[in-house]
Amino acid sequence: MSEVDQLIADMGARARAAAGTLAAMPSAAKARALVAAADALREAGDAIVAANARDMAAARAGGLSAAMLDRLRLDPARVAAMADAVAAIARLDDPVGSIVSQGTRPNGLHLARVRVPLGVIGIVYESRPNVTADAGALCAMAGNAAILRGGSEARESNAAIHAALVAGLTAGGMPADAVQLVPTTDRAAVGAMLRGEGLLDLVIPRGGKGLVARVQAEARVPVLAHLDGVNHVYVHASADPAMAEAIVLDAKMRRTGICGAMETLLIDRDYPAPATLVAALAKAGCEMRGDPEAFGDIVVPATDADWDTEYLDAICSVAIVDGVDSALSHIARHGSGHTDAIVAADADVAEAFLAHCDSAIVLWNASTQFADGGEFGLGAEIGISTGRLHARGPVALEGLTTYKWVGRGHGQVRG
Interface with its own copies by CB under 8 A: which residues? 20, 23-24, 103, 105, 109, 111, 116, 118-119, 201-202, 217, 220, 222, 240, 243, 246-247, 249-251, 254, 332, 350, 354-356, 358-367, 369-370, 375-377, 387-390, 392-394, 402-415
Please report how many Cα atoms fall inside a 13 Å half-sphere around the Cα of residue 115, on the Cβ side: 17
Minimal distance in Å, beta carbon 255 to its own copies? 8
3-state secondary structure of 177: coil
Minimal distance in Å, beta carbon 61 to its own copies? 37
When the beta carbons of 297 and 414 are compared against its own copies, the nearer one is 414
Q: Which of 155, 86, 159, 84 is nearest to 126 (CA)?
A: 155
346: Cβ contacts below 8 Å, ≥ 6 apart: 236, 237, 238
217: Cβ contacts below 8 Å, ≥ 6 apart: none
Give the DSSP per-residue string, 236-280: -TTS-HHHHHHHHHHHHHS-TTSTTSEEEEEEETT-S-HHHHHHH
When the beta carbons of 159 and 331 are compared against its own copies, the nearer one is 331
Q: How far apart are CA 267 and CA 308, in angstroms?
A: 17
When the beta carbons of 63 and 103 are compared against its own copies, the nearer one is 103
φ/ψ of 76, rounded to 5, equals -55, -35
Minimal distance in Å, beta carbon 331 to its own copies? 12
Minimal distance in Å, beta carbon 246 to its own copies? 5
When the beta carbons of 293 and 410 are compared against its own copies, the nearer one is 410
When the beta carbons of 76 and 198 are compared against its own copies, the nearer one is 198
Whether residue 361 contacts residue 382, with contact meaning beta carbons closer than 8 Å, is answered with no
CA 153 to chain centre: 21
Q: How far apart are CA 104 and CA 87, in angstroms?
A: 39
Whether residue 281 contacts residue 265, with contact meaning beta carbons closer than 8 Å, is answered with yes
When the beta carbons of 7 and 395 are compared against its own copies, the nearer one is 395
320: Cβ contacts below 8 Å, ≥ 6 apart: 266, 267, 268, 269, 274, 291, 294
φ/ψ of 351, rounded to 5, equals -65, -35
Minimal distance in Å, beta carbon 149 to its own copies? 20
When the beta carbons of 37 and 316 are compared against its own copies, the nearer one is 316
Minimal distance in Å, beta carbon 106 to its own copies? 9
Whether residue 251 contacts residue 234, with contact meaning beta carbons closer than 8 Å, is answered with no
When the beta carbons of 136 and 394 are compared against its own copies, the nearer one is 394
Minimal distance in Å, beta carbon 310 to its own copies? 17
Minimal distance in Å, beta carbon 174 to its own copies? 17
Q: Which of 257, 288, 206, 274 is nearest to 369 (CA)?
A: 257
Minimal distance in Å, beta carbon 102 to its own copies? 11
When the beta carbons of 161 and 202 are compared against its own copies, the nearer one is 202
Q: How far apart are CA 242 and CA 82, in angstroms?
A: 37
Q: How far apart are CA 163 and CA 237, in angstroms?
A: 56
Q: How far apart are CA 159 and CA 142, in angstroms?
A: 23
When the beta carbons of 80 and 111 are compared against its own copies, the nearer one is 111
When the beta carbons of 118 and 230 are compared against its own copies, the nearer one is 118
Minimal distance in Å, beta carbon 8 to its own copies? 20
Task: Name the amino acid, one letter, at 17.
Answer: A
Minimal distance in Å, beta carbon 85 to its own copies? 19
